[in-house]
A and B are shown apart, each in its own frame.
Chain A
Amino acid sequence: MDLDPDDVFRDDEDDPDNDLYLDRESTKELLVYLVDASPKMFSTTSLAGDQKDETHFHIALSSISQSLKTRIINSSYDEVAICFFNTREKKNLLDINGVFIFDVAEREFLDRPTARLIKEFDCVEERFVKEIGSQYGIVSGTRENSLYNALWVAQALLRKGSAKMADKRILLFTNEDDPFENIKGATKIDMTRTTLQRAKDAQDLGISIEILPLSWPDEKFNVSLFYADLIGLEGHPQFLVSTVEKLEDMKDQLRKRIFKKRIVKKITFSIANGLSIELNSYALIRPTLPGAITWLDSVSNRPLKTERSFICSDTGALLQEPPKRYQSYKNENITFSAEELSEIKRVTTGNLHLLGFKPLSCLKDHHNLRPSTFVFPSDEEVIGSTSIFIALHRSMLRLKRFALAFFGSSSRPQLVALIAQDEIISHGGQIEPPGMHMIYLPYSEDIRHVEEVYSYSNGATPKATDDQIMKAAALMNRIDLKDFSVFQFSNPALQRHYAVLQALALEELDIPETNDETLPDEEGMSRPAVVSALEEFKLSVYGDNDDVESELVDNGKASETSKKRKAVAENAVKECANFDWDDLADSGKLKDLTVVELKFYLTAHKLPVGGKKEALISRILTHMGK
């Protein structure tokens, strides 16, 4: 059945049904990017050194653009709106001044991101001055309050959808820490009050407001002047306003804060004798796959509906979803009901049970099956959880131990290792959050002992000498990736996939080249020091004889299979000569041959032999140039 999405990206064991992969539609996000467009956002401060001048406005726009691109791939059911305030022109539902909603054709103001939106948003900056214009909206003498207006418009946009079904957020980008600086006296107090009230109203409706402050290294954004009250900082001690030293760091921080944390699951972690604490789990690392395919009608390009039906092989009768499954065993069909099967899998009362602790050295590199899950304590239901968690976390770090626990999920109950991770902070903010990572451990059935298959019954295998090890170490120090981080590479296949889709979606003819960052650094590898280290290592393990291939292969498996393969190829050449292929092809009689016979041709001409018969024939025809 062709139901499966393009399986090129998928390795055999990826399981899309796995409950770890979030169903994204059910937890969609409604988001308004609220960007300050006041003249201050366009000012440039010449930075030390040769750094390019960048405006805050540009930084804000590029982080939004980046987040839109990620969003369309990762959570395309999210709905976004982009809204500028402190603008000359106005465009919004309420028709109030100083607020401009950016939008493109075939899209509502608050809607799912489209290829066109991303494309046009990328060039909004060039057109901005002409079409939208920047103008500070809070001036003394008028009662205009652009910030108030902006919040109001954003709130109106987010009226859509119920708060239960979706997360509603306003992300505010600004570099003005005191918006009412120019206003004096009672008017200022009044404007501050009404603005705060507006924000509070929005929050009461389940909308969270977050501020992404932009600042220059030499002038700090002071949240306490105004915004601390607006976003309700008290009670949220975790709000991070770090002073940024580099522009890059600020971009990093923006990138990290644009996405909202999503809890995968709440977990009860039972420690001992009825003592249980509350944890939230998060999926920090999950493979991003290209979206599922949809079948379309090739004429109308309209999506098709897939209908599945069950047919009894014996009677041909149409069935409802069959309630029972069977396994053949001892020549009998043993049936199981769905309840029985889930019952068999339920070996414990859900949740996470602590079994004990082990030194970290017990956790081997091959003890891994799936991406890990991050857990962080929560005091939401049980007060005191965090305290216990922190204590255990510290002890585990100090004693270099991990916790072994049994995680009774319904799909695959299994043993997990909980590794305490200390917080790692650099200039760009938090790199690794503090908490524990849950590593899914294999069972004995899941581990294969491959090395043992190739153990040598007649004595010892060759092991490297000290000199060879030394040469290898020297080589390693030459090709050292000093600051390697896993955030270094984007997935070239995915990049290509979406570049193609974006181009096609916009009906552009040329598809932009994508860059494969995963290729080795040829230039670095050809540096004389590296080359000589390589040569020395090679000489030390391979000896003078330069030709690697020349070594005689033992009478092992390898030679046997290669002999066999050779024999098959020779046979194919012989057999192939028995047919007049040109004639067969011209008269269209290729289809009368058997697959085996067709493969003679393919093998003899070193072509791939896979596929259905039609594929083989077309391959032969292509090869013959017909």
Chain B
Amino acid sequence: MARNRETLLLLLDVGPSMHKVLPELEKVCSMLVEKKLVYHKSDQVGIILFGTEDTKNELTREVGGYEHVVVLQDTKVVDGDLVEALQQLPRGTFNGDFLDAIIVGMDILIKKFGETDKKKKRLCLITNALSPVKDPFEGTKEGQVITIAEQLVRHGMGMESIVVRERLNGSATKRIMDENDHLLNIFAKKTSAKLVYVESPTSLLGALRTRNISPVTIFRGDLELSSKMKIKVWVYKKTSEEKFPTLKKYSDKAPPTDKFATHEVKVDYEYKSVEDPGRVVPPEERIKGYRYGPQVVPIAPSEWDAVKFKPEKGIKLLGFTNASNILRHYYMKDANVFIADPGNTRAILAVSALARAMKAENKVAIVRCVWRHGQGNVIVGVLTPNVSDKDNIPDSFNFNVLPFVEDVREFQFPSFNNFPASWQPNEQQQEAADDLVKLLDLAPSGKEEVLQPEFTPNPVLQRFYHHLDLKSKHPDAAIPPLDETLKRITEPDPELFSLNKSAIDAFRRSFELKDNPKLKKSTRRILREKTSGSNMGEGYADISVQSLNSIENTSAVKIEKIGDLTPVQDFETLMSRRDGPEWIGKAIKDMKNKIFDLVEDSYEGDNYPKALECLVALRKGCILEQEPKQFNDFLRHLCKFCREKNLNSFCEFLTSKELALISKTEAIDSEVCDDEARSFLVKPDTKVE
């Protein structure tokens, strides 16, 4: 059960320069644990933060140093608390030293497992590596890193580093950055550690592998160039769809008092004869029938075995051909990768020679594969070279399945040149299209390629695991809206589109779209959508609002409470619900509780901005709904509460943001005059006895 148990230490940089991406960090790390709770329940996870104000780790106590590294959670079997801890990471105030964090992490794992325990251990470092690493007491930083790397290897610890890096900011940091990059690179080389750089929050979500699947070969054996020349290869899956988890059917028949109810549903199949529906045919009286046109041909398995196609296991080369003969859209399935037998130097050389020659000559190889003994079909596929640009990764081949004649439908389509002249774009239109294709560039030079598949998470899975966790706390939790970072995957980037607004507008102006008048109204689905967009006027802003609305409409989530994620939006939705008068009261009450929670749970004031947002929203809502007393009383109560609980900093924060009571001029029902409203927070002592 626990054979593949893994121990993972998250080393998270929470220093000030990281604050911007911490929300994404929280999301991806908590998702990692959520997934482990589903797929790897006995894995252990620990959390180490660095760049914190405090210092809390064993090494400090034992030898001193290692400041601003906090062991937030020692390794333990994954549970809900871990998820929660990761969802609310404290914001740090110091520049963290990632090397310190690595040493602390290593120390924990060594103490826990010793040198002999072969269990899987992994460190995962997420930082922006912008702050300098301290000089060691003796030797160089480089020497220190090498020593650490050797220790990691000796103890069989894996390491993965994700560096969050936006484009340059200042030359002073540039030097530090380069040094840090150099140090991290040593790790990558020495320990087979994975090192990736990400620029956008979206790719940060995709960069951390949230589910670890140990690769299994689908074939080990010879790649036969001919009967005389063979190369030992191992074949793995390169891509494989991570499916939406298969949920079990739930039975609610068991009485609620039954604590041991499994709630499982058994599915039973019965085979009945058509003529006599009452008679169940037992398995030994059944025979498989294969369809051939309208006929069904019964064949017993033994008979079938005797005549069916039985190819021999093996991979045979059919030949090489120009890469241009294999069009990209012929690829049928998920891809595999052919790696030379890792223990066989000559195989590695042979694969490397072929791959490099194929790349140089722009050729591909056609191979016929039978992966396993007893497989009933053959696969014809194409090998393309995968030449490695890293010294320590061997060259390999990508493999893709090609179609057979039977799989191809040769439909004929009219040639574009045969279309009437009115359908052909003119020069000016073509230019507008060229501009559009050039400017809406997702892979600008010198920048990270946007939405690279390697770094793009599946938004549906993210949403599911998030919702799963919410439901575990509140069974009725509403489905969270797709969060902003994930919307960068499903919708065009407003920034990119508004930046190129002129090109887009020019493109739109160049072409005219209109409804086909011959069609009935009901079928005109496309244009309706279009006009509603264009009527709203120019510019992207409108569209983004529209698309936002449409998302909300489609998701049609009935928000019934104020969630943690988007309290302000939830509040506004609740306030505008018109299907019952009780919603306003509920919204105000919920919001008050939320604000209290935020202020109370605040660590070093990290929740204050969010609390303020909520307060502003509440204030606005109360003015609109003519409930000034609700707000004023609440604000007074909140301030009093803060002073009692030594949370004066919050009141100061509010004062600095000029939040006031609702005055009579704003809402007629208010008994507070303008002056009093404004001065309420400035002179706190008069209000609090």
Cβ-closest chain B residue relative to A72 = B293
In the bound complex, what is the Cα–Cα distance between A435 and B546 (angstroms)? 30
- A484 close to B325 (CB less than 8 A): yes
Query: Is B616 among interface residues, defined by CB-CB distance under 8 A?
Result: no
- B430 close to A391 (CB less than 8 A): yes
Hey, what's the 0/1 contact readout for A244-264 against B, CB within 8 Å counting as 1? 000000000001110101000
Query: Is B529 among interface residues, defined by CB-CB distance under 8 A?
Result: yes
Interface of A is mostly: mixed
Tell me the A437-489 residues at the B interface (CB within 8 Å): 437, 439, 441-457, 459-464, 468-473, 475-477, 479-489
- A357 close to B441 (CB less than 8 A): yes
> CB-CB < 8 A to A430: which residues of B?
412-413, 415
- A13 close to B241 (CB less than 8 A): yes
Stretch from A81-89, A131-139, A279-287 contacting the other chain = A279-287
- A413 close to B459 (CB less than 8 A): yes
4 further A-B contacts with Cβ under 8 Å, apart from A415-B489, A480-B320, are A302-B274, A381-B525, A491-B404, A519-B368
Measured between C-beta atoms, what is the minimum distance from B509 to chain A in Å?
Answer: 10
Query: Is B354 among interface residues, defined by CB-CB distance under 8 A?
Result: yes
> CB-CB < 8 A to B453: which residues of A?
364, 367, 415, 441-444, 446-447
- A399 close to B270 (CB less than 8 A): no
In the bound complex, what is the Cα–Cα distance between A74 and B293 (angstroms)? 9
Query: Is A314 among interface residues, defined by CB-CB distance under 8 A?
Result: yes
> CB-CB < 8 A to B429: which residues of A?
387, 391
- B416 close to A390 (CB less than 8 A): yes
Measured between C-beta atoms, what is the minimum distance from B323 to chain A in Å?
Answer: 10
Stretch from A111-119, A120-128, A189-197 contacting the other chain = A111-119
In the bound complex, what is the Cα–Cα distance between A488 and B193 (angstroms)? 44
Known: A462-B348, A492-B309, A543-B346. A327 touches B468 (CB 8 A): yes
Query: Is B138 among interface residues, defined by CB-CB distance under 8 A?
Result: no
Query: Is B210 among interface residues, defined by CB-CB distance under 8 A?
Result: yes
Hey, what's the 0/1 contact readout for A499-514 against B, CB within 8 Å counting as 1? 0111011000001001
Cβ-closest chain A residue relative to B390 = A455
Measured between C-beta atoms, what is the minimum distance from B236 to chain A in Å?
Answer: 4
- B514 close to A382 (CB less than 8 A): yes
- A335 close to B250 (CB less than 8 A): yes
> CB-CB < 8 A to A385: which residues of B?
513
A445 interface neighbour in B242, B333, B493, Cβ under 8 Å: B242
Hey, what's the 0/1 contact readout for B527-549 against A, CB within 8 Å counting as 1? 10111111010011001001100
> CB-CB < 8 A to A341: which residues of B?
247
6 closest A-B pairs by beta carbon, nearest first, are A274-B533, A238-B414, A8-B376, A325-B247, A437-B329, A464-B353
- B262 close to A518 (CB less than 8 A): no
Cβ-closest chain A residue relative to B507 = A272
- A434 close to B289 (CB less than 8 A): no
Query: Is B168 among interface residues, defined by CB-CB distance under 8 A?
Result: no
Measured between C-beta atoms, what is the minimum distance from B462 to chain A in Å?
Answer: 9
- B361 close to A446 (CB less than 8 A): no
> CB-CB < 8 A to B286: which residues of A?
295-298, 304
Query: Is B551 among interface residues, defined by CB-CB distance under 8 A?
Result: yes
- B405 close to A345 (CB less than 8 A): no
Query: Is A379 among interface residues, defined by CB-CB distance under 8 A?
Result: yes
Interface residues on B, range: 35 or more
Stretch from A30-38, A40-48, A553-561, A599-607 contacting the other chain = A553-561
In the bound complex, what is the Cα–Cα distance between A370 and B272 (angstroms)? 37
- A500 close to B339 (CB less than 8 A): no
Hey, what's the 0/1 contact readout for B429-450 against A, CB within 8 Å counting as 1? 1101110111011110000011
Can you list 18 A-B contacts with CB-CB less than 8 angstroms, sorted by A residue number?
A1-B269, A285-B330, A291-B292, A294-B289, A296-B286, A304-B274, A326-B263, A356-B496, A366-B238, A370-B333, A390-B425, A406-B491, A429-B412, A437-B327, A443-B456, A489-B404, A521-B319, A548-B346
Query: Is B486 among interface residues, defined by CB-CB distance under 8 A?
Result: yes
Measured between C-beta atoms, what is the minimum distance from B41 to chain A in Å?
Answer: 9
Measured between C-beta atoms, what is the minimum distance from B148 to chain A in Å?
Answer: 14
> CB-CB < 8 A to A435: which residues of B?
413
- A448 close to B239 (CB less than 8 A): yes
Measured between C-beta atoms, what is the minimum distance from B481 to chain A in Å?
Answer: 10
Known: A356-B440, A443-B242. A472 touches B513 (CB 8 A): no
Hey, what's the 0/1 contact readout for A5-37 against B, CB within 8 Å counting as 1? 010110101000000000000000000000000
Query: Is A421 among interface residues, defined by CB-CB distance under 8 A?
Result: yes
Tell me the A289-311 residues at the B interface (CB within 8 Å): 290-311
In the bound complex, what is the Cα–Cα distance between A496 and B459 (angstroms)? 43
Stretch from B60-68, B221-229, B580-588, B622-630 contacting the other chain = B221-229
Known: A312-B251, A394-B433, A446-B239. A489 touches B405 (CB 8 A): yes
> CB-CB < 8 A to B526: which residues of A?
268, 276-278, 381-382
Q: Which of B326, B339, B376, B508 has the most CB of A within 10 A?
A: B376
Query: Is A198 among interface residues, defined by CB-CB distance under 8 A?
Result: no
Hey, what's the 0/1 contact readout for B277-307 against A, CB within 8 Å counting as 1? 1000101111111111111111100001001
Known: A448-B213, A457-B192. A309 touches B270 (CB 8 A): yes
> CB-CB < 8 A to A502: which residues of B?
292
Query: Is A408 among interface residues, defined by CB-CB distance under 8 A?
Result: yes
In the bound complex, what is the Cα–Cα distance between A353 and B459 (angstroms)? 15
Stretch from A200-208, A533-541, A566-574 contacting the other chain = A533-541
Query: Is A273 among interface residues, defined by CB-CB distance under 8 A?
Result: yes
Measured between C-beta atoms, what is the minimum distance from B380 to chain A in Å?
Answer: 6
Interface of B is mostly: mixed
Stretch from B128-136, B169-177, B310-318 contacting the other chain = B310-318
In the bound complex, what is the Cα–Cα distance between A286 and B407 (angstroms)? 5
Known: A303-B274, A518-B368. A294 touches B291 (CB 8 A): yes
Query: Is B184 among interface residues, defined by CB-CB distance under 8 A?
Result: no
- A551 close to B377 (CB less than 8 A): no
Query: Is A346 among interface residues, defined by CB-CB distance under 8 A?
Result: yes
- A294 close to B497 (CB less than 8 A): no
> CB-CB < 8 A to A451: which residues of B?
337, 339, 386, 388, 393-394, 396
- B252 close to A324 (CB less than 8 A): yes
Query: Is A186 among interface residues, defined by CB-CB distance under 8 A?
Result: no
- B292 close to A115 (CB less than 8 A): yes
Query: Is A162 among interface residues, defined by CB-CB distance under 8 A?
Result: no
> CB-CB < 8 A to B288: which residues of A?
6, 293-296
> CB-CB < 8 A to A553: which residues of B?
343-344
- A369 close to B437 (CB less than 8 A): no
Tell me the B378-394 residues at the A interface (CB within 8 Å): 378, 380, 384, 386, 388, 390-394
B356 interface neighbour in A275, A443, A464, Cβ under 8 Å: A464
In the bound complex, what is the Cα–Cα distance between A317 and B269 (angstroms)? 15
- B519 close to A381 (CB less than 8 A): yes
Measured between C-beta atoms, what is the minimum distance from B190 to chain A in Å?
Answer: 6
Measured between C-beta atoms, what is the minimum distance from A14 to chain B in Å?
Answer: 8
Query: Is B688 among interface residues, defined by CB-CB distance under 8 A?
Result: no
- B392 close to A551 (CB less than 8 A): no
- A308 close to B349 (CB less than 8 A): no
Query: Is A423 among interface residues, defined by CB-CB distance under 8 A?
Result: yes
- A442 close to B262 (CB less than 8 A): no
Stretch from B111-119, B253-261, B649-657 contacting the other chain = B253-261
Tell me the B48-98 residues at the A interface (CB within 8 Å): 79-80
Known: A290-B290, A330-B79, A362-B452. A473 touches B496 (CB 8 A): no
Query: Is A497 among interface residues, defined by CB-CB distance under 8 A?
Result: yes
Q: Which of A13, A284, A437, A531 has the most CB of B within 10 A?
A: A284
Measured between C-beta atoms, what is the minimum distance from A56 to chain B in Å?
Answer: 21
Query: Is A516 among interface residues, defined by CB-CB distance under 8 A?
Result: yes
B464 interface neighbour in A303, A344, A414, A490, Cβ under 8 Å: A344
A401 interface neighbour in B269, B309, B392, B437, Cβ under 8 Å: B437
Measured between C-beta atoms, what is the minimum distance from A97 to chain B in Å?
Answer: 32
Cβ-closest chain B residue relative to A372 = B329
Measured between C-beta atoms, what is the minimum distance from B667 to chain A in Å?
Answer: 38
A357 interface neighbour in B390, B437, B534, Cβ under 8 Å: B437
Query: Is A39 among interface residues, defined by CB-CB distance under 8 A?
Result: no
Query: Is A49 among interface residues, defined by CB-CB distance under 8 A?
Result: no
- B273 close to A302 (CB less than 8 A): yes
- A314 close to B263 (CB less than 8 A): yes
